[in-house]
Structure 1
Amino acid sequence: MTKRFFVGLLFLLLISCGKNEKPIVAFYYWKTIFKLSPTEKEVLLDNEVSKLYIRYFDIGLHPQTKEPIPISPIRFQENSNAFDIVPVVFIQNKVMLLPNLDIDDLAQKTIRLVEEINAKNKISCQEIQIDCDWTLKSKDHYLKFIERFKQLSHKKLSSTIRLHQVKYFKKTKIPNVDSGVLMYYNMGTIAPDAENSIYSKKIAERYLESLKKYPLHLDFALPIYSWGVHIRDQKVIGLRSKLNVSELEKDSNFEKTGTIFFKVKKSNYKNGIFYEEDDLLKIEAISAKDLKEMANDLDENLVQAPREIIFYDLDEFNIKNYEKNIFKQVISCF
């Protein structure tokens, strides 16, 4: 009787410990050259980060032949051996929409390039991630590509998942991967109005309940980036990276006309982009409050706790917008 009691008590303690285990902090690294700044190294050290998801290359279409080609493969200017590296390959959906796509050839070439980058930089990886916002029209090619890639790579395979793919998974289907990463951002339409296209609690709430029914294990990717929506004559003409409110407040060429809106006072170039007089910039960003709200909302709709929270993306420009312990605050919500 006593023995049975202690076995039962141990079982309950193990369950309890499992529930209290917090997800780890990880980051996406989305530049074409791997070289960490002192600020980036500091945030990795402070948050005990051991895992980086590094964009190795994109796959797009050759402008003339319309054949799949790798775009901007990463170059390592710094040793990455201190981290568990997960190569990420971003595949443009138009590749999967090709009517005569040679799936076997694409899978083989993709794996070969990943292996070449790993060999050149003495990287040994256990996992590869495929990032593609597949649609109903491209899903058959995408799912077949995942199957073939998994057969050939002999690696753990993860896939990025969008909110609409969670809610409508019976139609969009679920890729045959070991786990998914829900990209909890880019939810709205990029428009001249005041809505934030990166994150909207109102839009997110349409999908959150679906998480309880999604059969694939999910970790979560949360945004820490900002951008400017460039508006001319009430039309969006582009997205401008590496822009935030404080950056524009310091620039005399721009006049603040609202909480997130700036007007171009006189024509100028900024970060290589030409801005005409009277153009508008709408700054879309994610606050610390937004991040904690996202984490709490996700936690309330979970069946299975995430193992990782991956922040997009590791960049000094992004990190400086937050207090030092924000990443630990966010994972404490789970």
Structure 2
Amino acid sequence: MKKILLFSLVVLSFLSCKKDKKYDVIKSFCYWKTDTYFGQEEDSLAKQMNLKHMYVRFFDVDWNPYAEEAQPVATIGNIRITDSLKITPSIFITNDVLLNSSKPQLDVLSERMAIRIKKIIDKYQTEKASALAYKIADADYERQKGNAFQSRLSTDSIIIAEKPKFEKDIQELLFDCDWTESSKENYFYLLEKLKSKFSNYKIASTIRLWQYRYYEKAGVPPVDKGLLMCYNMTNPTEYKTKNSIGTSDELADYITHYKYPLELDIALPLFSWSVLFRGGEFKGVISDYQEFEKSPTIFKKTDDNKYTLQDDIQIGKFYARNGDEIKIEKISDDEIENMIEIITDKVKISNDTKVTFFSFDKKYINDYGVQNISKYYESF
């Protein structure tokens, strides 16, 4: 009896220590726009939050039914972000690509994807080296003032010398796909092909919550690491959905074990949207519409997060009608803390864990507040 009691106390002590222990996780954000340009405000926000890392969407891959092949879409243009940030290029692959492609087509696709990824990385590193080269050349020229033989350094030679130093800024690639049981074989095959073309990088894959809970059914991708996506838990088109972005109760229904075979990074929601319904039927998602509280004669508040239109109105690309309902979906501060508690109870966290928020947008960051976001990181 004494031995059993002693063992129980040891286990409880271990669990208590595990729960109380906090880690200096890698502070990260997702950036999901076609151009990545940090102005003064974005740069300041990144520094205030002491960000170390950014997932940057490079392009998407979708199935073209007319060409009967997978094709890249929405390729990123410029990548100009805070110099100190390491980035993980992220490529979204639709499930249709996997369901419709043959193995030979996936071979060709992996080659095309590799070429495109390397081209974007090369451009990014060249632009960073070029910006530094002009600073070095200008500073050197300034130092020579008063010298009769004042001359300017060749920026081309500086770029060649400095460019290799930026290779360490990218050490990982992320492939984002909501694969299914039917498509997992092709997805895992494509990942293997991509791994062989990027031997100097770690390869990561997104893990949806259902893929985490039912990993034996969904399969485990052949990668070095997973990014657990803790949002978009239900369908926004369903009228009765409480919050399609997610709730802590729903998260707890998925994170039921600690057996997932891959090391995991964590992605949490930091965004909001409004969903338009007409007669209980989904009409679309409205992003960043701020007029609800400003125009109470047009938008009648019927609940904490619901409004009913009192007139016909154009909202972005949507023509909304009198009587339409708008539901605002956002994760509260308390809910994010509850989610973090659920995650840390079941998922192994370390100082190497990237904790990322979707998505980096000054509107969302200012809505939640830098202080609150910093607190979320510290909760790990």
**TM-score normalised to structure 2 length:** 0.78
Report what 2:124 is aligned to.
Answer: 121
Give how far 1:233 is off: 1.8
Aligned with residue 239 of structure 1, among 263, 285, 303: 285
Helix, strand or coil for the counterpart of 1:149? helix
Number of residue equivalences: 315
SS at match of 1:209: coil
8 Å CA contact 1:292–1:329 kept in 2: the answer is no
CA shift for structure 1 position 313: 0.2
**Larger Rg, first or second structure (1 or 2):** 2
| Distance in 1 between residues matched to 2:122 and 2:269, nearest whole Å | 31
**Structure 2: how far apart are the matches of 1:185 and 1:160?**
12
CA distance in 2, matches of 1:80, 1:118: 16
3-state SS of 1:230 partner? strand
The CA RMSD measured in Å over matched residues stands at 2.0
Structure 1 window deviating more from structure 2 (116-125 vs 305-314): it is: 116-125
Q: Counterpart of 2:293?
A: 249
Aligned residue in 2 for 1:138: 183
Aligned residue identity for 1:110: M
2:116 corresponds to which letter in structure 1?
Answer: L
Return the match for 1:293 from 338, 343, 366.
Answer: 338
**What does residue 85 of structure 1 align with?**
87
Structure 1: 5+ residue stretches without partners: 1-14
Gaps of 5+ in 2: 1-16, 127-166
* Counterpart residue number, 2:106: 103
Query: 1:219 maps to which residue?
Result: 265
In the alignment, is residue 112 of structure 1 matched against residue 97 of structure 2?
no
Greater shift, 229-238 or 88-97, is seen at 229-238
Any idea what SS the aligned residue of 1:54 has? strand
Deviation at 1:120, TM superposition (A): 2.2
For residue 51 of structure 2, the aligned residue among 45, 49, 52 is 49
Do 1:29 and 1:53's aligned partners in 2 also have CA atoms closer than 8 Å?
yes
> Residue 70 of structure 2 contacts residue 101 of structure 2 at CA under 8 Å; is this kept in 1?
no
**Aligned partners of 2:334 and 2:22: how far apart in 1?**
23
Shift of 1:129: 0.4
| 1:1-334 to 2 correspondences below 5 Å | 20-76=22-78, 78=80, 81-100=83-102, 102-122=105-125, 124=167, 125-154=170-199, 155-190=201-236, 191-193=238-240, 195-210=242-257, 212-243=258-289, 247-251=291-295, 253-305=298-350, 307-334=353-380
Say whether the 8 Å CA contact 2:23–2:378 is kept in structure 1: no
Other structure's SS at 1:141 match: helix
AA in 2 matched with 1:217:
E
CA contact (8 A) 1:192 1:229 kept: no
For 1:315 and 1:213, how far apart are their aligned partners in 2? 34
When you count helix as a share of all residues, which structure comes out higher? Answer: 2
1:153-181 CA distance string (max 9 Å, x none): 22211111011111111121111111111
Residue pair 1:60, 1:71 contacting (<8 A) in 2 also: yes
Cα drift, residue 299 of structure 1: 0.9
Deviations 1:240-259, CA, capped at 9 Å, x for gaps? 2224xx64212453222211
Q: Are the counterparts in 1 of residues 212 and 255 from structure 2 also a CA contact under 8 Å?
A: no
- TM-score calculated relative to the size of structure 1: 0.88
Distance (whole Å) between structure 2 residues aligned to residue 289 and residue 79 of structure 1: 30
Q: CA deviation at 1:206?
A: 1.6
Q: Give, in angstroms, the shift of residue 182 of structure 1.
A: 0.3
In structure 2, how many angstroms separate the alpha carbons of the residues matched to 1:308 and 1:164?
A: 21
Shift of the alpha carbon at 1:100? 2.5
